[in-house]
Amino acid sequence: MGVGIIGVGAYVPENIVTNKDLEDMVDTNDEWIRTRTGIEERRIASEDMDTSHMAIIAAKNALADAKLEAEDIELILVATATPDNVFPTVACMVQEALSLTNIPAMDISAACAGFVYGLVTAYQYIETNTYKNILVIGSEKFSKIIDWSDKNTCVLFGDGAGAVVISNVTGDKGILSFELGADGSGGKHLLVDNETDFITMNGKEVFKFAVRQLPQSCINVIEKAGLTKEDINFLIPHQANIRIIDAARERLGLKQDKVSTTVRKHGNTSAASIPLALYEELENGKIFDGDIIVIVGFGGGLTWGSLVIKWGK
Ligand code: UT7
């Protein structure tokens, strides 16, 4: 038996903020944002919708998709950089909302790579027969750590959540290989400033890191799985910038329709971007049973992580 994803759910707030809307707020324009980032619009949560609320909706959707009851879940992991509170964790809030008691629940902090860290952590517990079903959620409300007068950052991010249920899957399906990594020396390039509580970023440095690390990490996990680039059916990279995604796509020799680019509609939703993209691409009918899927995340820390999954239950 393998270890894989048996259910996927998502949630994005209703409120759409377009590039045109941002033109009224900072000295930017639709053309700059589209050509430099690929982003056309993003969802922004209302005052009363926090990270935990989005996580709970996504989690319930993932449970329904997996055809499981909340009682079947034995561990909750939430990847987030924008928890409602320092503690209690978002994972504990999800546990309460699902009326679960006693099962362990914890947040994972690895910025935009957090969801991949969460998947790999869940994989270990299933692989060792410790737990049967684990909820892994990525949920972010970046709008609350954005300086809405800083054009360098405010155009890039959005809010949302995605969730999956990880369990045993049949035959040769499931997670075939993974890699996690971090480079603390690059932490200064992307951080939340303690004085202002706002995100600050050296875009160029993060860009260079991503263009180098993202495709390399994909190649590493593909090799670990005993596969080649030609075996990849679909790539789900962290959705930060279309130019970073395109650079990775070209290095991996993939056609455009084999790579998720939901960044156009969601902007960068940090730890939520990969499960949100996975949800959308399943809805779009882009992923089939038996497909080789590569998932890769990168972000503040600096952190990165990737997985190869043979899709299916
Ligand atoms: O999840 C991981 C998080 N982050 C990332 O992945 C971000 C990685 N980096 C990037 O995506 C890109 O570096 C950015 C999209 C952030 C910036 O693109 P760039 O091509 O590196 O632009 P730049 O920083 O070199 O800025 C070029 C110009 C500057 O003006 P001058 O100095 O050349 O006159 C900026 O002031 O663009 C200006 N600029 C803007 N103009 C209009 C910066 N932000 C904006 C804006 N609208 N929103």
Domain ranges of the chain: 2-169, 174-310
Tell me whether the CATH fold assigned to 2-169 matches the one assigned to 174-310: yes
* CATH class, 174-310 region: alpha beta
pLDDT given at position 66: 98
**How do 174-182 and 303-310 pair as beta strands?**
antiparallel
Cα 165 versus chain centre, distance: 14
Q: Other CB atoms closer than 10 Å to residue 226's CB: what's the count? A: 10
Condensed to tens digits (0 to 9), the pLDDT of residues 182-235 reads 999 999 999 999 999 999 999 999 999 999 999 999 999 999 999 999 999 999
The pLDDT mean for the chain works out to 97
Q: Other CB atoms closer than 10 Å to residue 160's CB: what's the count? A: 31
Q: Which residues are catalytic?
A: 112, 238, 268
Ranges of residues in the chain whose predicted pLDDT is under 70: none
> Which among 117, 152, 270, 298 is the best mutation to test ligand 1's pocket, defined by most ligand atoms within 8 Å of the CB?
152
Report the C-alpha gap between 59 and 161 in whole angstroms.
9
Q: Which residues line ligand 1 (CB under 6 A)?
A: 28, 32-33, 36-37, 112, 151-152, 155, 190, 201, 203-204, 206-207, 210, 240-241, 268, 299
How far is the centre of ligand 1, averaged over its atoms, from the C-alpha of 208 (Å)?
Answer: 12
Write the single-letter amino acid at 36: R
Cβ-proximal residues to 19 (8 Å cutoff; 6+ apart), any chain: 28, 29, 30, 33, 34, 39, 40, 41, 155
**How do 41-43 and 16-18 pair as beta strands?**
antiparallel
In terms of CATH, what superfamily is 2-169?
Thiolase/Chalcone synthase (3.40.47.10)
Report the C-alpha gap between 301 and 234 in whole angstroms.
27
